[in-house]
Amino acid sequence: MSVHAFEQSQKLRLLTTGETGQLLGYLPSGLLSVQLTAGGIVVIDEKDVEKV
């Protein structure tokens, strides 16, 4: 796993902690995208899309 993937997971954890007060955990892939919407947080992975 690359350092880039680690940095992305750290950013995801910090973001979810600040916005919702709980951790979503981290995705193993380095290709992550986080979107804040009116309905909540949408985490887009290269293989999966989850709404929280």
Ranges of each domain in the chain: 3-51
CB atoms within 10 A of CB 17: 12
pLDDT in the model for residue 47: 54
For the record, the structure tokens of 37 come out as 């919407």
pLDDT in the model for residue 6: 44
Q: Give residue-wise pLDDT tens across range 2-50.
A: 344 445 555 655 555 555 444 444 545 555 555 555 666 666 555 554 5
Q: Measure the N-to-C terminal CA separation of the chain; round to a whole number of Å.
A: 26
pLDDT in the model for residue 20: 46
Specify the DSSP element, H or E, that contains 44: strand 40-45
CB atoms within 10 A of CB 30: 15
